[in-house]
Amino acid sequence: MSILFSNAVIWPVAALVAVPLLLHLFARTKPPVYSFSSVEFILRIIRSTLRMKRPQDWLLLALRTLLFTSLVLVFLRPLFFSQRRLAGMFQAKNVVVIVDATASMSYVDGAQTRFAAACAEASEIMAGLSNRDTANVVWLSSAPRAVFPEMGANIAYLRDSLRRASVTSEAGNIQEAFDLAVRLLSEAEGKRELCIISDFQKTAWEDVSLTPIEGLDIVKVPVGTATAANAALTDIQFRPARPLLGEEVTIFCDVHNYSAQPCGRTLFLEAGESRRSQQVVVPPWSKATGVFRHTFKSPGTFTISAALDEDVFPGDDRRWTCVPVLEFMRTGILASDTQTAGAWRRALDALGWARTETISRADLDGDLPYDILMLAGWDGASRQNLREKLLQGATIVCSPAGGVSPGDATLSRRQADVGALLRHEQSSEPHSVKIVRPDDRIFQLFADGDFGDPSRGLFRERLHLARNALSGADVLMAFDDGVPALARLEQNGSLYFWNLALDPEFSNWASHVEFLPFLAELLLGSRPSANGHVVYTEHLPGEPVAWNVGRTVLTSDMQLRDRIGQALPIRRGGGSLRFASSIPPPLGSYEWLYRGQYIGCSVVNFPTIESDLRPMDREQVKTAGSVVAAGGSKVRHLRDGVKLWPYFLALALCLGLLEGLALIWIERT
């Protein structure tokens, strides 16, 4: 804390402070002499009033001394500095202001948004700069950018930019903005200062640690209040992930309440032509889920949107997603084991929603555009490609041939264990199977017994393997001696290890009526969330929506449209097979068209990190080497000092008034 006198040359004038004291003293000792007949009465009066007069005199003396002191200080023009060094204050200043333009800044605090307040504070900071100072503004968004490529002296342009700026719906990349600001300041000569104006949203800032830079003053200017209540639609999901035509789809909409009071909101769902709503009551600082059920009448990719009735922060009240509705599931069957493959095909052909295609061993190295792969008599070929499909979310039912290791059979990451290969074994006494995990989803249909017992069947042939050979897999069914009969390994997609013989010579299971619903349940319950083909992409605000077309196409053949059919400019991006919007589009859903045909959609949803509007505690905002200022004017005060002369002038006026009042009071008393 320091005080500098701008007009120190008139320090000798400070001697005026002695004037009232001297006046007081002279007034007491040098009044004209008046010879009076007797001062006895005067003495008596003075004695009686001395107790009152002396404090009054001292009061007047104090007031007058303070009055003169204030007047002298007015002319000395003192500047008050707190928490700052005076060194370097006469150098040219280089100021970079990081203005938070993330979505949370659009919250209306009182009469204006946080962003408008931040721009006003930044403009206030700029207003305090002189002609020899340089400045720049860095917008904090998902891709931070500066107004000038380097430090500039055109302060007027910066202020105009601040006036014209608008807030984004993006989340902010704080570290990148900080690095950009530091880079801008690194080459500047003179005093360097970085001001960060933000709401310091807790969810965005609490994990950020800005490294103090030597010689760089960091000032943080919080805007916004701590009591920002908000309700947000934070997620929209549906089950199943790839519904079939006519299948009921359950849509889950998560509503968060970021306030200390419970809130009741109306949740709207728009799916195709259907529009429904329901009331959702969300406890304080908690989440509630609205559930809708919808059945799509035609196959295709449908954009569904959910929305809340609008509140003071409407940006996060709407979300979009795309539901790929399948007419059927493409099932590729490797028929190396013809008996098993035949049993599978017969069963699946009886189902309306499955379309089977026979694939060859060579096809396993290809694209495999199937929802489900059923490998009968797989010998371990194309293991890596199958593993990638599994990781992409595909469902694979694998009935390995003999000579394959259990590790290969489960597409594990490890190399095959040569010493423990699978081999077929036959027995004269048939083995029965039992359900090990009756609570698993594939057995739910059979829980009440209406659909029979899926474990009813006898097996004289099976792959021999140890009970614990399938490490990491859930054994769903096992033979009576404990050997796994059906196991599942989930790695994004689901892999079923099938050890259940379907050859009528060795098993009667396929002939039982329970086999068909069991197989259907197994495939429906484990249908892939993706089959490697993207049906829609989800993006964050601030980034361009993009689409991989998979083959070389002309840019003129590609089109991106928003929901109302308006085309958006696109460009090739990230390779000849990838297209992206020229500019980041606003929140919403968009369709990609190739030669007028729909090929996919992209959605841009509000970043959930921006929904919780609570700022950090003031103490948390402080980091090493930084100062927290209440506003732009405070920043100027920190940098240029607080001009105290108006306060001293006001003080002098008040003291003058007080002296007058004191005189009146003294005269009356």
Binding site for another protein (CB under 8 A): 27-29, 31-46, 48-49, 53, 667
What is the closest distance, in whole angstroms, from the C-beta atom of residue 43 to another protein in the complex?
6
Query: Measured from the CB atom, is 22 or 42 closer to another protein?
Result: 42
Task: Compare residues 53 and 163 and give the one whose CB is closer to another protein.
Answer: 53
Would you call the peptide bond into 240 cis, given omega within 30 degrees of 0 as the criterion? yes
Task: Pick the closer one to another protein by CB: 27 or 513.
Answer: 27
CB of 661 to another protein, least distance (A): 17
Minimum distance from CB of 33 to another protein (Å)? 5
3-state SS class at 381: coil
Please identify, using beta-carbon distances, which residue of 32 and 569 lies nearer to another protein.
Answer: 32
Asked whether 486 and 497 are in contact (CB, 8 A), the reply is yes
Q: Least CB distance from residue 70 to another protein, whole Å? A: 26
How far apart CA 67 and CA 65 sit, in angstroms, is 5
Phi-psi region of 460 (alpha: psi -120 to 50; beta: other; left: phi over 0): alpha
Q: Side-chain half-sphere of 124: how many Cα atoms within 13 Å?
A: 20
Show the tokens assigned to 113.
């948004």
CA angle (53, 54, 58) in 5-degree steps: 115
CA distance 435 to 431: 13
Which residue number, 8 or 25, has a Cβ lying nearer to another protein? Answer: 25
Tell me the C-alpha distance between 422 and 439, whole Å: 29
- Least spacing, CB of residue 27 vs another protein, in Å: 6
Between residues 36 and 90, which has the closer beta carbon with respect to another protein?
36
Structure-token pair, residue 445 = 């249909």
Please list the alpha-helical segments (H only) found in 80-173. 114-127, 155-164
| Tokens (6 digits) for 52 | 């009152």
372-378 and 395-400 as β-strands: parallel, antiparallel, unpaired? parallel
226-263 core/surface letters (b: 16 or more CB in 10 A; e: else): eebbbbbbbbbebebebbbbeeebebebbbbbbbeeeb
Min separation Cβ 668 and another protein, Å: 12
Q: In the complex, what is the shortest distance from the CB of residue 57 to another protein, in angstroms, rounded to a whole number?
A: 10
Q: Least distance from C-beta 22 to another protein, angstroms?
A: 15
C-alpha span between 553 and 570 (Å, rounded)? 13
Nearer to another protein, 28 or 551 (CB): 28
CA distance 422 to 409: 9
Q: How far apart are CA 433 and CA 483, in angstroms?
A: 9
Q: Which is nearer to another protein, 408 or 659 (CB)?
A: 659
Query: Taking the complex as a whole, how short is the minimal distance between the CB of residue 49 and another protein, in angstroms?
Result: 7
| Residue type for position 180 | L
Least distance (Å) between residue 68 CB and another protein: 20
Q: What one-character-per-residue DSSP string does 246-259 give?
A: T-EEEEEEEEEEES
Which residue, 32 or 215, has its beta carbon nearer to another protein?
A: 32
**Which tokens is 328 given?**
């059927």
Specify the residue, 38 or 428, whose C-beta has the smaller distance to another protein: 38
Cα–Cα distances in angstroms (integers) from residue 428 to residues 316, 425, 558, in the given order? 66, 10, 64
